[in-house]
Amino acid sequence: MKKNNKNQFRFVKSPPILSKSRQDIFFLQKQTYGLFSTILNSNLLIKGMLYEMKRVCGKPNCKCAKSSYRHTSWYLTKSEKGKPEVYYVKEADLSRLIKLTVEYKKFRQSRQRIVEIYREIINLINRIEKIKTMSFMGGKKNVKEANK
Ligand SMILES: [Zn+2]
């Protein structure tokens, strides 16, 4: 009887070319360090965007009625459950609010980037799985026969 020397372990796809995927994963993982540090070291946050509005006050003797001068008001706008909300900002609160809304923005951007990076890493892991997975091509037997 002729002995079957054929290799029964086969790659489903191509042989492993893994170094690129491996490099990409380490590179992406490295990028998250700074993002995590932004998240973990972040200060207090305030959700919302500040905007400035120029307006006339309506008083007939005010300089805004007689010249191109306009009063400046600041507002904070944010969306809560899809509904926009607008808040008037007092002059005294403005500089602190600027700081806290910038913190919020940085926090959210870092969070978003982490989500993207992890999505890319999962894609790479799936690719590695496809490359590494072999199929076993041993002689086929049906279950009945195997049970005899
Ligand atoms: Zn005025």
Q: What are 82-122's pLDDT values in tens digits?
A: 999 999 999 999 999 999 999 999 999 999 999 999 999 99
- The reply to whether 148 falls in a domain is no
* CA of residue 77 to ligand 1 center, whole Å: 24
Ligand 1 centroid–CA 53 distance in Å is 13
Instruction: Write the burial class of residue 76 (CB in 10 Å: 0-12 exposed, 13-18 middle, 19+ buried).
Output: buried
84 CA from centroid of ligand 1 (Å) = 28
Of all residues in the chain, what percent are helix, strand and coil, respectively (each to 5)?
A: 50, 20, 30
Instruction: Identify the DSSP state of 16.
Output: P
Distance 78 CA to ligand 1 centre (A): 27
144 or 22, higher pLDDT: 22
97 located within any domain: yes
Domain count, the chain: 1
Domain range for 124 is 17-129
**Is residue 9, in this structure, part of any structural domain at all?**
no
